[in-house]
Structure 1
Amino acid sequence: MPRIFAPLLSAATYARWLHLTIGLIFVGVVLMVYPGTNGHGLGEVLVRAVPVDAVLLVLAALLPATRRAEGVQARLLLMPEREQDIAAEPSRTWADLRRTAAWLVGRVALGTGVGVLSVLVPAAAFDLLVRPVPELFGLRLPAGAGTSWYLLLAPVLLFALGWLVVWAGRLQLTMAVRLLGPSPAERLAAAELRAERLLERNLLARELHDSIGHALTVTVIQAGAAGEVGDPAFVAKALEVIEETGRQAMEDLERTLALLRDAGGGTVHGTMRDGTAHNGTTGDGTRRTDPAGSAADDAGDPRERPGVEQLPALFDTARAAGSPVEAWLDLPSGQLPGVLSREGYRIVQEGITNALKYAPGEPVSVRIALRDGRLEIRCANALSGSAAPVRSSPRRGGKGLRGIRERAVLLGGEASAGPESGEWVLAVRVPLRLGA
């Protein structure tokens, strides 16, 4: 029973009822102007009025602001579950104008029907209650001993009218979502915008994971070794490494927070402030790629990300943590785009971090080279050794390796990681020209 009567007591039902009756008001005003109600039968009035109403509604739909006004009114009175289901924007295309015209005609037609019944049904219910010989919609009911049963028809009629309003309001809301809601192109653009925002969040999360994860790994290893080794010189060196690593992590954190403040919750197309390039989709649906980075790179933006030129310092940090690093960098000067330099640094950083975390003290070999128009990165370390491993879960393709694969895919390349000939090998290959 509550499910039957609950819609009849809902505020949304009466708000939608008001929205429906506005259509009847429009028709009534037009009827009084033309053709009028004096000297014309109902059929003649409808034949003359309907074309006039339709023409006026279509002309009103040609005004771009009409769509916005109808959208605002529908949001207020039809009470959709999500406001964004009904747009409150002016018409921008001919398709919007056609949909607005269809909405106005359909709205007025449905509202007129519901409005007329909203007048006739209560009047008929009143006749059933107060007249000795009641009438129902102009038809006299048979008189006799059973006329008292006619009293029961009054609440039935009102109940039926209530549910008619409920279903008409729901139909009106469906029409509004279909005709006033975003077009398929607008929905696609909104979906692409959400995807780009998610991509940017993932980029920032990956930056934090790589930089802060590396700093914490080095700090834990250095602190643990300093606690076990009694050599004051070693302890002093470990503290120096911890301080430098922590300072670098703070700079990375500040840079990432600056990016979040600059974005302001919106979407940055093509290239972020630090020069991170990603494939985006513009509002007109075309693809755009900015592989060269932003102008901030040349201007020396203090928040720009480190590149391959900072790798020697990274290797020194790993050596200070007790893991010998042998590096071969075959990179001709000026031939590596900025984005590849920065992404290459993060990839190598993650490889070094994994080596320190899962095979502390083991030699690490890093090879970076440009071959056949591709940047190739290879990080390898022994799978086992005499050094006691840091307390950590074994490598199972966690967030770090997944982030490397995502970086490689966004750059148009590929990445692989796994055991190979007694070593754990991370291999990444990306084209020198992005999108190739």
Structure 2
Amino acid sequence: MTAFRIGRLRGGAPGYVLPRFLAPLVAGATYARLLHLLVGWIFAGVVLLVYPGTYQKSLGEILAGALWLDTVLLALVALIPAARRAEGVQARLLLVPDREEDIAVEPSRTWADRRRTAGWLIGRVVLGSAIGFSTVFGLAPAFNLLTGPHALWYLPLAPVLAIGYGWLVVWAGRLQLVMAARLLGPSPAERLAEAELRAERLLERNRLARELHDSIGHALTVTVLQAGAAREVGDPAFVAKALEVIEETGRQAMEDLERTLVLLRESPAGAAGGAATEQPGVDQLPALFDTARAAGSPVEARIEVPAGVLPGVLSRESYRIVQEGVTNALKYAPGEPVDVQVAVRDGQLELRCANRLVAGAGRGASRKGGKGLRGIRERASLLGGEASAGPSAGSSAGLSVDGSTEWVLDVRLPIRLGS
């Protein structure tokens, strides 16, 4: 026989073992659901006492009168938006669903929500009343038989009656749980809103991951290059300058990290942190170029962006794109000149970052699948633009006449004026 263990004795020894078909009869969820059922029966009983009453009424008249009055009252209650929320909270507590999100705790927002709530209230009262009447008109005669003058003859029926009633409660509770999931569960609009919220959170996490990758990656690249150059050169003045650049770069990376942590904490107090949540934009690019120059790579930059033309989000994302392009140049072609162009033309923001790679020493091919370039393409796509990166067009495989390769990052983003 299949068994179910419900406890352990002191010292770790196995406790009582019940047959599996008896396990639901001793589960706490069964009695919580029975309480939920009886609440519906109590409501029906109170209404019955008010109208039509039981004095000089046939059973049919009593049931008919109570039925239509219960239906009207429950339908009126379902019109209250908060009724759905109250029923959802109660159902989660007493029906013990496997997943609480299967039962909504939101107020009614549409007429469809109100109709489903009315169906739930009526079904709950009907099912609860059926269990209540079964208890009264079923167990009471059985109790009389088991305590009457011929009780010994009917005593063997006691376990059968108890188990039968227990399973009636179990299945009624399960049926009520199914009803709650169907009638109080999230509506299609709520499921869509939840899916959209999950998508927004996923996009936000991806954006924060890109922010960390770009900011911390740039800081580490500059730090490694400066530390290596200071060790090779050995000039005290150069070492002092390198340490200054490392300090400034590290401070900037810490500020970026703090901004990201503020967003991750999702705290209203933290989100209102003022300067801590400000993000760099196109106007901070000169400082970025100064850092690259201090790392030993000459930067020729041309920024042709009129003030106030770029929306905030476009300015921030453009800064991160250029930052990643400069970081790649420092990483894969240290010491080589970097040419940066940022300009507004024909309603588009054009970003171009180019650097020379010495033939045989560059790792341009390895950059195609890098996370940084993939992040740039994602940023451009989300902004409705496009991005390309690779050896420059011209001679074979991007090789110039002097045997060097020029790597070009080219991004075009549409500008929505007035946004």
TM-score range, shorter chain: 0.7 to 0.9
1:264: which partner in 2?
A: 267
- The one of 128, 139, 144 aligned to 1:111: 128
Q: Do the aligned residues in 2 keep the contact of 1:379 with 1:426 (CA within 8 Å)?
A: yes
Matched, 1:397 2:369: yes
2:347 corresponds to: 373
The one of 365, 379, 392 aligned to 1:407: 379
Q: 1:60 to 1:317 in 2, by over 3 A?
A: closer
Using the TM superposition, give the Cα deviation of residue 93 of structure 1 relative to its aligned residue in structure 2, in angstroms: 3.6
Deviation at 1:258, TM superposition (A): 4.7
Question: Match of 1:200?
Answer: 204
Listed as ranges, the matches of 1:131-280 within 5 Å are 152-259=156-263, 263-264=266-267
Shift of 1:218: 0.4
* Aligned 8 A contact 1:125 1:158 in 2: no
Cα distance in 1 between the residues matched to 2:37 and 2:357: 73
Q: Residue 367 of structure 2 aligns to a residue in which SS?
A: coil
1:237-386 map, 5 Å: 237-259=241-263, 263-264=266-267, 304-332=278-306, 334-384=308-358
Amino acid at match of 1:236: A
Change (3 A) 1:193 1:128: same
**Alignment match of 1:17 (pick from 34, 41, 45):** 34
Determine helix, strand or coil for the equivalent of 1:379.
Answer: strand
CA distance change for structure 1 residues 273 and 344 in 2, over 3 Å: closer, same or farther?
Answer: farther
Equivalent in the alignment of 1:37: 54
Cα 1:254–1:66 shift into 2, 3 Å = closer
Aligned to 2:12: none
Supply the AA of the counterpart residue of 2:349: L
Partner of 1:381: helix, strand, or coil?
strand
Change (3 A) 1:125 1:403: farther
**1:122-133 maps to which residues of 2 (within 5 A)?**
122-123=139-140, 125-126=142-143, 129=146
Across the aligned residues of Structure 1 and Structure 2, the Cα RMSD in angstroms comes to 3.4
1:419 to 1:156, Cα distance in 2 relative to 1, 3 A: farther
Task: Report the 3-state secondary structure (helix = DSSP H, G, I; strand = E; otherwise coil) of the residue aligned with 1:66.
Answer: helix
Partner of 1:67: 84
**Which residue in 2 is equivalent to 1:429?**
412
CA contact (8 A) 1:411 1:435 kept: no
Q: In the TM superposition, what is the alpha-carbon distance from 1:362 to its structure 2 partner?
A: 3.2
Equivalent runs, 1:93-108 vs 2, <5 Å = 93-108=110-125
In structure 1, distance between residues paired with 2:22 and 2:249: 67
**Distance in 1 (alpha carbons) for counterparts of 2:57 and 2:51:** 11
2:181 is paired with a residue of what secondary structure? helix
C-alpha deviation, 1:255, in angstroms: 3.8
Q: Is this contact kept in 1: 2:258–2:276, CA < 8 A?
A: no
Residue 63 of structure 2, aligned match among 41, 46, 53: 46
Contact 2:332 2:362 in 1 (8 A): no
Deviation at 1:162, TM superposition (A): 1.8
Q: Which residue of 2 aligns with 1:416?
A: 388
Alignment coverage as a number of residue pairs? 390
Q: Could you tell me which residue of structure 2 aligns to residue 56 of structure 1?
A: 73
| d(CA) in 2 for partners of 1:410, 1:434 | 17
AA of the residue aligned to 1:118:
T
Residue identity matched to 1:432: I
Counterpart-to-counterpart distance in 2, 1:311 and 1:50: 75
2:212·2:256 contact (CA, 8 Å) conserved in 1? Answer: yes
Percent of matched pairs sharing the same residue:
72
C-alpha deviations, 1:383-420, integer Å up to 9, x for none?
5558799xxx9535343223212211221112233445
Gaps of 5+ in 2: 5-19, 393-397, 399-404
Contact 1:13–1:165 (8 Å) recurs in 2 = yes
Residues 62 and 250 of structure 1: is their aligned pair in 2 closer, same or farther, counting only changes over 3 Å?
closer
Distance (whole Å) between structure 2 residues aligned to residue 333 and residue 101 of structure 1:
59
Cα gap change, 1:303 to 1:29, in 2 (>3 Å):
closer
Moved more, 34-43 or 408-417: 34-43
99-108 vs 120-129, which deviates more? 120-129
Residue 215 of structure 1: CA displacement?
Answer: 0.9
List gaps (5 residues or longer) in structure 1: 135-146, 275-295
Judged with a 3 Å threshold, the aligned counterparts in structure 2 of structure 1 residues 384 and 111 are, in CA distance, closer, same or farther, namely farther
Q: Distance in 2 between matches of 1:81 and 1:42?
A: 40
User: Matched residue of 1:6: which SS?
Assistant: helix
Q: Is the 8 A contact 1:360 1:388 kept in 2?
A: no
Q: Greater shift after overlay, 80-89 or 410-419?
A: 80-89
